[in-house]
A = this chain, B = another copy of it.
Amino acid sequence: MPLGERHSGDKSESRYCGVETDFDDDMPNLLSLNIHGGFDFVVATLMDPNYRPSLVDECTSRSTALPFAGSDLVLTPSQWSSHVVGKVSSWIDLDSEDETLRKDSEIALKQEIAWASHLSLQACLLPTPNRTSCANYAKCLNQILQNLASMQLWLRIPLEKSEDDTDSKNPDFMVDRQIDSWEMWNSFRLLCEHHNQLSVALDIQSSLPSASSVARWFGEPVRAGIINTNSFLTNARGYPCLSKRHQRLTTAFFNHSIQIVISGQPVHSAVGASGSRADNNVKDGLKHPLKSYLDYVAYLYQSMDPLPEQERFELGYRDYLQSPLQPLMDNLEAQTYETFEKDTVKYSQYQRAVAKALVDRVPDENASTVTTVLMVVGAGRGPLVRASLQAAEETERKLKIYAVEKNPNAVVTLHSLVKLEGWEKTVTIVSSDMRNWDAPEKADILVSELLGSFGDNELSPECLDGAQRFLKEDGISIPSSYTSFIQPVTACKLYNDIKSHKDLVHFETPYVVKLHRVARLAPTQPVFTFTHPEFSTKASNQRYKKLRFDIQSDTGSSLIHGFGGYFDAILYKDVHLGIEPSTATPNMFSWFPIFFPLRTPICIQPGTPLEVHFWRCSGSTKVWYEWCVASPTASPMHNTNGRSYWVGL
């Protein structure tokens, strides 16, 4: 039974809660008690914990069944796959110094995963790797992963990181080695090459690492958060509750579709468990001993604010890679125009900018005599024409508009709009590419919306260079400038999606994507700026920028899969518009961020800066980006000569 509904009946997503159980021969009873107790699934030990392959007599073993919990018939296939997550024996240690234990572990691991796979379980929880080494574990698991049908393997990782003690008062206290469980996971998944059936179950401890350290996990494939009853506090009435930080973490889990699992014995007095051996395999009819923990988790879920409408609309786009538009080479489709035109916030910003420009251009005393010539270049189906007319009306300025559009299909609609609205006297429609149009007069104001997610990536600079021929020398361009921004991110999901294409091209293509399961590792930094108009003859639209990111020292190590890219545009004076996270225009949905991948993820140690280089290059027929990491280790150059990705001129 899902955790209920969020506030205000938001049914957009459900969340589930499981419970970790001990070994029980009677799986039907175990399942029934826990499901009736309100949990959605059990994380159940499949094999008798006393079993060791090396203790089995070889002759016996050939005829005897392995000591699993019952046969596959005790549950229906759908019960197995919907309600049981297998738990692999926790005595398994594949990196033990003890060779017998290591060999037993290897055999048992294979047997248990084979059994879980035979049952078509959706997932198996795997024991935590040995702190000192994980290579043999990774080697065995990697072998298994190559032939595993569709089951997910959840590697159990404690959420812990000892804090840096450079500021420690006692310098004599030497820690042998900083503990950071993320590094354990990172080694493991690098050895297994980011296998997409290998994921993480985070074991939540009673104390949490720093916020920036925890944040790394949201770029990782975390599938479950296991909360032990020991990590709960006790409220005034003796019931379990979580600390503020644990609450925020749990909420973040909900937001990232990470399932919660309750683990351990009931330890809160109001639960009535103190003293007695209260395992969670309760007697029929009694309240489940962990029910109050479940209730608290459900309460947290139900207390969450409903998703804003825009977020709900964008749910389906989360972490879904799209190739950027090529609006210059290709003509947009009606549906695309339809979507963009609905972005009222964007057009009201344009209207504000045009209004300010009109007032600056024509003083009140001349308002009735002077007509401002405004050209909308890339008018599409007319939204900027409308916004400009509204600005003129609002400021009581006289306006003459040329609407220039290269897409003949959009021009059809534009004509019909002008007729419908009765704008014939004010608006002249020009069916032409702005770079070639021979304008009959010069404009006071040039309005365009040619920006991509990375600002200049849909070739606004090249288009406006062409269009400024017919802008007066003191004329105004709206936008007057725009800047792109990047920041390094961990983005396992995106990396795996790109990798699945098994080619170079996809690793050298920037994608438009609603970034969600990413860890943003440093604040954004500006990359390229373009200003309009630009009448200097020496000016070029090629750019080169070297950036240095310092990752917050308490983050720990991290893995960079690529860069989130954004833009901010100054439309006119203080009217801006953009998606750079810290200054993003609220409730605007026309742009998702852009993602520049790295062919090989780069690992950054604490205190080591990340040096990144970005180029905007152009040839006679195309514009493209190249990028690389120069430090701490040099990456290959990406997209040399625009071999994989380019925007046609």
**Interface set of A (CB-CB < 8 Å, partner B):** 102, 133-136, 138-139, 142-143, 146-147, 186-188, 190-193, 544, 546, 600, 603, 611, 613, 615, 626, 628, 630, 633-637, 640-641, 643
Contacts and interface: CB of A to CB of B under 8 A. Distances in A.
A136 B613 contact: yes
B191 A637 contact: yes
Contacts of A193: 636-637
A141 to B, nearest CB: 9
A135 B641 contact: no
A640 B146 contact: yes
B139 A615 contact: yes
Contacts of A146: 640-641, 643
Nearest to A138: B637
Which has the most chain B C-beta neighbours within 10 Å: A134, A138, A637?
A637
Given A191-B636, A193-B636, A637-B192, A546 B135 contact: yes
Given A133-B546, A640-B146, A643-B146, A634 B186 contact: yes
A67 to B, nearest CB: 23
A94 to B, nearest CB: 10
A538 to B, nearest CB: 10
A356 to B, nearest CB: 34
Given A133-B630, A138-B637, A146-B641, 13 more contacts: A102-B544, A135-B611, A135-B628, A138-B628, A139-B628, A139-B637, A143-B641, A147-B641, A187-B630, A187-B634, A190-B635, A192-B636, A600-B600
- Per DSSP, chain A at the interface is mixed
B613 A139 contact: yes
Nearest to A557: B633
Which has the most chain B C-beta neighbours within 10 Å: A102, A147, A190, A546?
A190
Contacts of A190: 633-636
A330 to B, nearest CB: 27
10 contacts: A135-B611, A138-B628, A138-B634, A139-B626, A143-B641, A187-B630, A187-B634, A190-B633, A191-B636, A600-B600
A643 B630 CA distance: 34
Contacts of A615: 136, 139
Nearest to A504: B502
A630 B139 contact: no
A28 to B, nearest CB: 36
A192 B146 CA distance: 32
A193 B637 CA distance: 8
Q: How many copies does the complex hold?
A: 2
A620 B523 CA distance: 54
A392 to B, nearest CB: 42
Contacts of A546: 133, 135
A640 B600 contact: no
B187 A135 contact: no
Nearest to A94: B544
A143 to B, nearest CB: 5
Contacts of A147: 641
Contact of A143 (B143, B188, B611, B640): B640
Nearest to A145: B640
Given A139-B615, A143-B640, A634-B186, A628 B191 contact: yes
A613 B135 contact: yes
A641 B146 CA distance: 8
B133 A191 contact: no
B633 A603 contact: yes
Nearest to A141: B637
A186 B640 CA distance: 19
Contacts of A192: 636-637
A21 B142 CA distance: 58
B143 A630 contact: no
A443 to B, nearest CB: 29
Nearest to A134: B630
A637 B142 contact: yes
A83 B256 CA distance: 66
B634 A544 contact: no
A276 B641 CA distance: 49
A115 B192 CA distance: 48
Contacts of A134: 630
A133 B545 CA distance: 13
A489 B628 CA distance: 26
Contacts of A191: 628, 630, 634-637
A603 B187 CA distance: 16
Nearest to A617: B143
A322 to B, nearest CB: 27
A626 to B, nearest CB: 6
B630 A135 contact: yes
Ranked nearest first, the 4 interchain pairs of A and B with the lowest CB-CB distance are A190-B634, A187-B634, A135-B613, A193-B636
Which has the most chain B C-beta neighbours within 10 Å: A139, A147, A600, A603?
A139
A643 B187 CA distance: 22
Contacts of A630: 133-135, 187, 191
A611 B615 CA distance: 37
